[in-house]
């Protein structure tokens, strides 16, 4: 019996775009004729972190984009592709807007971190 795996990561210099790949192989179990394999690829792209609340409000794209593809099995017939984005829900945006008016004493950097939080995942239809 054997199990091998390899993990590869590549990111840009600002770690705003990353690609993570994983390959696994294991020896066949009695019901299988060939070795079992798994190949997974994840791409993640995040927006630039704003340096002020004004820059955050003016930022056109604040969501994190994710693309995942995985193929597995003895004949690699099983496959899944998922595209998703992380963003702020409408409720979070309202909360942040109200928070700005209620908490004038909070330091700007703390308020910026709270305002930039992403709390909603949308799974997107790949059209395929």
Provide the sign of the torsion angle of the four alpha carbons 96, 122, 126, 78, taken in this order. positive
Q: How long, in residues, is the chain?
A: 128
pLDDT category of residue 55 using cuts at 50, 70 and 90 = low
Other beta carbons within 10 Å of 22:
15
Q: For residue range 57-84, what is the model confidence (pLDDT) as tens digits? A: 666 666 788 999 999 998 778 999 999 9
Q: What is the pLDDT of residue 97?
A: 63
Q: What is the pLDDT of residue 75?
A: 79
- The CA-based angle 28-34-36, given to 5 degrees, is 60
Which one is predicted more confidently, 18 or 97?
18
pLDDT category of residue 35 using cuts at 50, 70 and 90 = very high
Secondary structure of residue 33 in the 3-state scheme? coil
* CA–CA dist 32, 5 (Å, integer): 19
Q: For residue range 84-121, what is the model confidence (pLDDT) as tens digits? A: 988 766 766 666 666 655 555 555 666 656 666 655 56
* CA–CA dist 56, 107 (Å, integer): 15
Q: What is the pLDDT of residue 10?
A: 97
């Amino acid at each position: 019996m054997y199990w091998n795996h390899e993990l590869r990561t590549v990111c840009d210099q600002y770690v705003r775009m990353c690609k993570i790949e994983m390959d696994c192989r294991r020896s066949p179990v009695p019901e299988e004729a060939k070795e079992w394999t798994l190949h997974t690829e994840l791409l993640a792209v995040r927006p630039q972190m704003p340096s002020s609340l004004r820059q955050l409000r003016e930022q056109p794209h604040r969501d994190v984009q994710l693309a995942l593809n995985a193929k597995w099995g003895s004949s690699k017939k099983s496959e899944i592709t998922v595209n998703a984005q992380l963003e702020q829900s409408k409720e979070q945006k309202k909360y942040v807007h109200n928070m700005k008016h209620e908490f004038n004493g909070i330091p700007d950097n703390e308020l910026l971190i709270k305002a930039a939080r992403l709390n909603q995942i949308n799974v997107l239809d790949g059209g395929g």
